[in-house]
């Protein structure tokens, strides 16, 4: 089975060492390619320019996704992002709604979203639960329902709701069902190792997702490494009641099309 991990980070503080560890993890887990997300504010990785430089030795299978903050001092220039997208240096943009206090449809990030439309690449939004160590995070900004406003106003923008919108999978499913341009990833549902309660959570979230209209054609595999080991997470998601064709879509085909990967 071919696998693309559409959601990973370099946690730091030694980002170069993290990249080497991720490269080893990808190989051990049988993953062909992994999308690696930048973070301009350093919460969950290194800034975009630094990430691009660090991943150069692994460019065949570790693919950078830049990040954009609503704060002017914490984001790359529009011209630079346009060059990256045009040159195939990055494969999308990540937005940390919730951790940063802005809604997906707000004006400060709109010019970057227009660039993604221009280059036909996705915007990925953190959605749902925020990591407990970040006491300043505000859940209202990370609720999946806010994606609907953006998806409606920018129907040509490809959007990914990260983390199944956990715990609001039914809302993520409805937004995805309503808007043909919205996808959902299943990353970040496990911290450290898979426990029985994680397996119960997966079953509940997947049931909510499918019951409320979520499509297998829009579901993407992601781990949120290094929150959890990739090989362990592959086995975790493999528990879902999917046939071989559906697993191929979730683990590989959906991400390949969305990120325009030549494999």
When pLDDT is cut at 50, 70 and 90, the band that residue 49 belongs to is very high
* CA 141 vs CA 51, 146, 148: distances in Å: 26, 8, 13
Residue 41 pLDDT = 86
Q: How far apart are CA 137 and CA 96, in angstroms?
A: 10
- The sign of the CA dihedral 102, 106, 107, 113 is positive
Q: Which CATH number fits domain 4-258: 3.40.50.1820, 3.40.50.300, 3.30.390.30, 3.20.20.140?
A: 3.20.20.140
**For 100-150, what is the HEC assignment?**
ECCCCCCHHHHHHHHHHHHHCCCEEECCCCCCCCCCCCCHHHHCCCHHHHH
pLDDT digit string (tens) for 227-252? Answer: 999 999 999 999 999 999 999 999 99
Kind plus residue range of the DSSP H or E element containing 174: helix 169-178
pLDDT digit string (tens) for 110-130? Answer: 999 999 999 999 999 999 999
Least confident interval from 128-137, 155-164, 168-177, 234-243: 128-137
Instruction: Determine the 3-state secondary structure of 233 from DSSP.
Output: helix
As a whole number, the mean pLDDT across the chain is 96
- Check whether 214 has a pLDDT greater than 90: yes
Residue 186 pLDDT = 97
* CA 186 vs CA 13, 71, 112, 129, 202: distances in Å: 26, 28, 25, 13, 9
Kind plus residue range of the DSSP H or E element containing 206: helix 196-211
What count of other Cβ atoms lies within 10 Å of the Cβ of residue 255?
27
Q: How far apart are CA 154 and CA 169, in angstroms?
A: 22
- Check whether 178 has a pLDDT greater than 90: yes
- Check whether 132 has a pLDDT greater than 80: no
When pLDDT is cut at 50, 70 and 90, the band that residue 262 belongs to is confident
Its pTM stands at: 0.97
**Mean pLDDT to the nearest integer, 138-151:** 97
Q: How far apart are CA 259 and CA 34, in angstroms?
A: 11
- Check whether 173 has a pLDDT greater than 80: yes
Residue 177 pLDDT = 98
């Amino acid at each position: 089975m071919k696998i693309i991990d559409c959601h990973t980070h370099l946690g730091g503080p030694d980002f170069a060492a993290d990249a080497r560890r991720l490269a080893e993890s990808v190989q051990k887990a049988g993953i062909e390619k992994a999308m690696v997300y930048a973070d301009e504010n350093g919460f969950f990785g290194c800034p975009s320019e630094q990430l691009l430089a660090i991943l150069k030795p692994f460019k065949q299978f570790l693919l950078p996704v830049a990040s954009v903050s609503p704060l002017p001092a914490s984001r790359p220039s529009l011209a630079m992002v346009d060059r990256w997208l045009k040159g195939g240096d990055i494969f999308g943009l990540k937005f940390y709604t919730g951790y940063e206090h802005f809604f997906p449809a707000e004006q400060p990030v709109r010019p970057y979203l227009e660039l993604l439309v221009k280059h036909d690449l996705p915007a990925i939004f953190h959605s749902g639960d925020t990591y407990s160590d970040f006491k300043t995070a505000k859940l209202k900004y990370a609720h999946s329902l806010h994606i609907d406003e953006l998806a409606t106003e920018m129907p040509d923008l490809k959007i990914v709701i990260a983390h199944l919108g956990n715990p609001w999978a039914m809302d993520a499913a409805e937004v995805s069902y309503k808007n043909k341009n919205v996808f959902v990833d299943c990353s970040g549902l496990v911290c450290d190792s898979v426990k029985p309660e994680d397996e119960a959570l997966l079953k509940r979230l997947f049931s909510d997702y499918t019951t409320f209209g979520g499509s297998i054609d829009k579901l993407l595999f992601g781990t949120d490494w290094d929150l959890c080991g990739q090989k362990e997470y592959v086995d975790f998601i493999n528990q879902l009641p999917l046939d071989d064709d559906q697993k191929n879509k979730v683990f590989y085909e959906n991400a390949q099309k969305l990120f325009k990967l030549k494999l």
